[in-house]
């Protein structure tokens, strides 16, 4: 892979796309709901950014043997890949998928509705799960679909290709019925990320079309859900857009002109109607920073002692365990039916304060950079890197590893990686086991 192209997939690039750029959007004043963060919040965010980058640099310094370019064209990331014991991997994935997709439809049956097709979609989508274990398996069906995409990409068996493609389509369609964007779009993101990383071709016409489709679907579902839940959705968008993106309408009659009405109470209009369409995407990218701002300004730092950094394992305890969303709603006095996310930093902050942000971001950056350098030397680690690096795109949103299914997916990624081999030379193709 060309070094410039490869750099676009590095943790530094993905962190810039998934955190630094969304953070910079906070300062353009596009929404009244996302004001400029306090100085304390900005300090916390900069500690996270500097620590993450320091983690990357520390790995580059401590593990120079991974950085050395290998001159042999048949070594490292340039080696062709094949799947050993392909039949065993295929059958085991089919069994796991059948269990997972069955759990998803069991949850639909238990709910008695398909959230996406229901009039109360915004409420029902949060009532879908029967219990943690069932939901873990149900949502994991999307990740299994991604693994079938990997198999589809590497196998020469046409039967496996057809079955894999059918499973992918069935899974994505089923997950779309949950009306949860991340549940059904995350597998697609993994497939896109893997495809570009595997081929070394970035922003081809096909990739651009897919990316634009992702954005359109992402925004459209949010608009659909919100409009179903709140009939005044569009009016609230118009009133929420920042003042410099609005214009004050002139008074319509003499009486109105003579009335000493404060400017802020005068009716407004949007300068550009496209702003109404952009607004939901902007809020998705930036409102988590405002929630982090609320967490910092309400002195919640260092109050939970590790609970929400390691909640993925704490959540396995018997009985109800207060989720991070429930904790924030209670601590901030928010009456909201779901979690308002607050970036990946907030978990570390509420547990350990800024020192937690510093240490955890340092470790996070170091681990991802180590995985990146391992991939640069051996392409067989492509699944493990894809799974962990793709989540950086969402670090503006939340800490992905707060959910146990994130670790469950890593286990499945490691399991699949065991079957992936790199050829030492062309003659080695003779021992490929189908």
Kindly report, residue by residue over 361-377, the tens digit of the pLDDT: 999 999 999 999 989 88
Q: In whole angstroms, what is the distance from residue 224 CA to residue 234 CA?
A: 11
pLDDT at 349 over 60: yes
C-alpha 421/C-alpha 413 separation (Å) is: 14
Gap between the Cα atoms of 405 and 408, Å rounded: 5
**pTM, 2 dp:** 0.84
Residue, of 345 and 237, whose pLDDT is higher: 345
pLDDT confidence tier of residue 336, bands split at 50, 70 and 90: confident
pLDDT band with cut points at 50, 70 and 90 for residue 350? very high
Tracing tokens 């954005």 back to the chain, one arrives at 215
Cα gap 60→11, rounded to integer Å: 12
Are residues 331 and 298 in contact, defined by beta-carbon separation less than 8 angstroms? Answer: yes
Q: Which of 50-59, 259-268, 386-395 has the highest mean pLDDT?
A: 50-59
Among 101, 100, 173, CA closest to 137: 100
- Helix/strand/coil (H/E/C) assignment for every residue in the chain: CCHHHHHCCCHHHHHHHHHHHHHHHHHHCCECCCCCCCHHHHHHHHHHHHHHHHHHHHHHHHCHHHHCCCCCCCCHHHCCEEECCHHHHHHHHHHHHHHHHHHHHHHHHHHCCCHHHCCCHHHHCCCCCCCHHHHHHHHHHHHHHHHHHHHHHHCCCHHHHHHHHHHHHHHHHHHHCCCCHHHHHHHHHHHHHHHHHHHCCCCCHHHHHHHHHHHHHHHHHHHHHHHHHCCCHHHHHHHHECHHHEEECCCCCHHHHHCCCCHHHCCEEECCCHHHHHHHHHHHHHHHHHHHHHHHHCCCCCCCCCCCCCHHHHCCCCCCCCCHHHHHHHHHCCCCCCCCCCCCHHHHHHHHHHHHHHHHHHHHHHHHHHHHHHHHHCHHHHHHHHHHHHHHHHCCCCCHHHCHHHHHHHHHHHHHHHCEEECCCHHHHHHCCC
Asked whether the predicted pLDDT for residue 302 surpasses 70, the reply is yes
Contact yes or no for 370/59 (Cβ under 8 A): yes
> Which of 107-111, 200-204, 238-242, 295-299 is predicted least confidently?
200-204
Cβ atoms within 10 Å, residue 426: 9
Name residue 421's beta-bridge partners. 82
Look at residue 65 in the predicted model and tell me its pLDDT. Answer: 57
Range among 111-125, 170-184, 248-262, 381-395 with highest mean pLDDT value = 381-395
Tell me the percentage of the chain whose pLDDT exceeds 70. Answer: 81
| Reported confidence tier of residue 434, pLDDT bands at 50, 70, 90 | very low
Q: Are 375 and 81 in contact (CB under 8 A)?
A: no
In 3D space, the residue among 188, 103, 90 whose CA is nearest the CA of residue 142 turns out to be 188
CB 56 within 8 A of CB 406: no
Return the minimum-mean-pLDDT range out of 222-231, 318-327, 399-408: 222-231
Q: How far apart are CA 181 and CA 139, in angstroms?
A: 12
93, 144 in Cβ contact below 8 A? yes
Q: Which residues contact 166 (CB under 8 A, 6 or more apart)?
A: none
How far is Cα 383 from Cα 150, in angstroms, rounded to an integer?
8
pLDDT score at 331: 95
Instruction: In whole angstroms, give the CA distance from residue 108 to residue 178.
Output: 8
Q: Indicate if the alpha-carbon torsion angle 248, 254, 257, 260 is positive or negative.
A: negative
Q: What is the pLDDT of residues 202-213, one digit of tens each?
A: 777 777 787 777
Per the prediction, the chain carries an average pLDDT of: 83
Neighbouring CB atoms inside 10 A of 335's CB total: 5
At 221-278, the pLDDT tens digits run 666 666 655 556 667 677 788 887 876 554 444 444 444 444 444 445 666 678 877 8
């Amino acid at each position: 892979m060309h070094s410039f192209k490869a750099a676009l997939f590095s943790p530094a690039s993905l962190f810039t796309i998934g955190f630094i750029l969304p953070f910079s959007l906070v300062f353009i004043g596009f929404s009244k709901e996302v004001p400029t963060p306090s100085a304390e919040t900005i300090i916390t965010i900069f500690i996270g950014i500097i620590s993450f980058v320091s983690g990357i640099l520390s790995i580059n310094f401590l593990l120079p043997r991974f950085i050395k370019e290998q001159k042999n064209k048949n070594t490292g990331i340039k080696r062709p890949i094949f799947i050993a014991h392909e039949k065993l991997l295929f059958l085991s994935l089919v069994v796991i998928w059948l269990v997972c997709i069955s759990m998803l439809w069991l949850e639909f049956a238990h709910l008695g509705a398909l959230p996406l097709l229901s009039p109360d979609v915004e409420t029902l989508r949060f009532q879908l799960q029967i219990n943690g274990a069932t939901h873990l398996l149900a949502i994991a069906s999307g990740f299994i679909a991604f693994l079938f995409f990997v198999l589809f990409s590497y196998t020469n068996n046409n039967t496996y290709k057809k079955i894999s493609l059918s499973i992918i389509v069935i899974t994505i369609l089923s997950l779309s019925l949950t009306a949860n964007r991340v549940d059904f779009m995350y597998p697609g993101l993994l497939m896109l990320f893997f495809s570009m990383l595997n081929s070394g071709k970035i922003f081809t016409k096909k990739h651009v079309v897919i990316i634009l489709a992702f954005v359109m679907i992402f925004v459209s579902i949010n608009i659909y859900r919100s409009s179903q839940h709140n009939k005044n959705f569009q009016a609230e968008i118009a009133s929420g857009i920042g003042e410099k993106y609005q214009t004050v309408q002139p008074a319509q009659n003499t009486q109105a002109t003579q009335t000493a009405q404060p400017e802020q109470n005068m009716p407004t209009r949007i300068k550009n109607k496209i702003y109404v369409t952009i607004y939901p995407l902007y809020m998705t990218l930036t409102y988590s920073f405002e929630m982090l701002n609320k967490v910092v300004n309400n002195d919640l730092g260092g109050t939970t002692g590790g609970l929400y950094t390691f909640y993925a394992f704490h959540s396995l305890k018997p009985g109800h365990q207060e989720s991070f969303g429930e904790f924030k709603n209670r601590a901030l006095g928010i009456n909201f039916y779901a979690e308002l996310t607050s970036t990946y930093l907030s978990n570390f902050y509420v547990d350990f304060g800024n020192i937690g942000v510093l240490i955890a971001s340092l470790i996070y950056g170091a681990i991802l950079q180590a995985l990146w350098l391992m991939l640069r030397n051996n392409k067989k680690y492509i699944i493990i890197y894809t799974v962990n690096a793709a989540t950086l795109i969402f670090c503006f949103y939340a800490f992905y590893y707060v959910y146990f299914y994130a670790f469950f997916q890593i286990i499945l990624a490691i399991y699949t990686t065991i079957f992936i081999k790199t050829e030492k030379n062309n003659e080695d193709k003779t021992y490929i086991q189908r």
